[in-house]
Amino acid sequence: MSVLFGSKEYFKGIPQIKYEGTGSDNPLAFRWYDEDRVVAGKTLKEHFRFACAYWHSFCNDGNDPFGPGTHLFSWNAKADPVDRAKEKMDAAFEFITKMRLPFYCFHDVDLVDYGSDIRENDRRLQALVDYARQQQAASGVKLLWGTANVFSNPRYMNGAATNPDFLVLSHAAAQVKTAIDATIELGGDGYVFWGGREGYMTLLNTDMKREKAHLARFLHMAKDYARRNGFKGTFLIEPKPMEPTKHQYDYDSETVIGFLRQWDLLDDFKINIEVNHATLAGHTFQHELQVSADAGVLGSLDANRGDYQNGWDTDQFPNNLNELTEAMLIFLEAGGLQGGGINFDAKIRRTSTDPQDLFYAHIGGMDAFARALITADAILSSSGYKQLRKDRYASFDTGKGSAFEKAALTLEELHAYAIESGEPPRVSGRQEYLENMINRYL
């Protein structure tokens, strides 16, 4: 991977980040993420396909509901939106390349500011797509997925594809079409739909049945358009239960799978699981991974974490090794992701104002995933973990249990079997033993 910058260097004095191993005390080095290390038959780079989220790293200036931004972006100086966006892209590719991230992800409006004229917006995005194509070719960095932001503009306050006003839905469709074009042109592996405002604030004014049908029709139209225009990648739905809506239709993986099945979209769509969205839905990250893996739709991941003391989407960088190791057990057993990668949908804190902070954040996240995957692989290959879980179900492997699984028993036969066999023995689930095993291998 070569390092390409525009005329300016934005992250001055920060070299390309290298793997130095656990003996290193250099905070600007990887201690676990050795991209060429082979674990379970693939390099770490191939397993993870890490991506940088354009919006958090280059657009979000640290503002919160109580005050304006604290991050000073030296790439935001130019008055013309396209010129300004090109400088931002220079900074982005400098960062992504220095960080050794093989992929990036964007919303249309992350690349360049949009106004209210659709034709002008399309022209602006095309200018940035042309520029991104050159940056990608020179750096070797690829597009993991693209998407359209159809939730920030005030016109989407009542939803985009589920808006009660058909004209608003059409505006969303216009944006999605251009974002799909951009994704195809830049060779994106995926196209994401996160339905930020596809839900309701109150059922008093909402025809939920009609809105969900509109969402399905919209997704079919977008999919058919993309396929007609040569998109071979994966469409991804990113579940989230709420925020900004009170209730979001794509609540969690199980709900999305039901929706995709109902509307005949399972052949083209998979799931993009975000950690903090899982916890907002009252689930663990592991739960969401397992549900998607079991249904064959484990597409891609948005890596981050929430905060145990509050209930919103804080999008912090991942650092919880126990949680990640449990997640990597599921990830490895599922054979990894289907076409996706691991996108850091995470932001540095409002108070993290040094240029290095963005590097520390990504280094920490990549190292945490690497350490978790290495640990999970050791557990899978040299502990009794898999056998222990298998043994719990041994009573279904033979005899009457096996006949039950094969649908060869009636309810009367189970009644007779229970009487003849007597009270079942107590069998420990050994939860504490298993939890200790993770710590033993870490």
Residues contacting residue 307 through CB under 8 Å, at least 6 positions apart: 314, 316
Single out the residue of 313, 345, 367, 377 in contact with Co ion (rule: CB under 5 A). Answer: 345
Rounded Cα distance between 214 and 225, Å, is 16
CA distances from 239 to 176, 198, 257, 284 (A): 18, 11, 10, 13
CA distances from 33 to 18, 62, 373 (A): 9, 28, 10
Picking from 25, 29, 36, 40, the residue whose alpha carbon sits closest to that of residue 374 is 40
The minimum distance between CB 58 and ligand XUL, in angstroms, equals: 13
By CB under 6 A, residue 194 contacts ligand XUL = yes
Other residues' Cβ atoms within 10 Å of the Cβ of residue 81? 17
Q: Which residue, 107 or 124, has its beta carbon nearer to ligand XUL?
A: 107
Angle between helical axes of 81-98 and 118-139 (0-180°, round to 10): 30
Name the residue nearer to ligand XUL (CB basis): 98 or 107. Answer: 107
| CB 367 to ligand XUL: min, Å | 22
Spatial contact of 330 and 286, defined as CB atoms under 8 Å apart: yes
Binding-site string for ligand XUL from residue 222 to residue 251, where x marks contact by CB under 6 A and - marks none: ----------------x-x-----------
Nearest approach, Cβ of residue 233 and ligand XUL (Å): 16
Does 313 participate in binding Co ion (rule CB under 5 A)? no
What gap in Å lies between CA 53 and CA 347, rounded to an integer?
A: 9
Catalytic residue (choose from 47, 56, 71, 107)? 107
Neighbours of 145 (CB within 10 A): 27
- Nearest CA among 300, 329, 308, 294 for reference residue 437: 329
Q: Does 288 bind ligand XUL (CB under 6 A)?
A: no
110 part of the interface to Co ion, by CB under 5 A: no
CA 363/CA 27 separation, integer angstroms? 8
CB of residue 347 vs ligand XUL: minimum separation in angstroms? 10
Contact partner, 214, from Co ion, ligand XUL, none, Cβ < 5-8 Å per class: none
Binding residue count for ligand XUL, defined by CB under 6 A: 10
Binding mask 368-397 for ligand XUL (x = CB under 6 A): ------------------------------
Phi, psi of 69 (to 5 degrees): -60, 155
CB of residue 192 vs Co ion: minimum separation in angstroms?
Answer: 8
| 267 is an active site residue | no
Q: Which stretch, 42-50, 97-105, 339-347, 389-397, contacts Co ion (CB under 5 A)? A: 339-347
Which region, judged by CB under 5 A, interacts with Co ion, from 36-44, 221-229, 274-282, 432-440?
274-282
* C-alpha span between 273 and 161 (Å, rounded): 21
Q: In this complex, which beta carbon is closest to ligand XUL, that of residue 149 or of residue 325?
A: 149
Query: Quick one: 35 or 238, whose CB is closer to ligand XUL?
Result: 238
Q: Which residues bind ligand XUL (CB under 6 A)?
A: 107, 147, 192, 194, 238, 240, 274, 302, 313, 345
**Residues designated as active site:** 107, 110
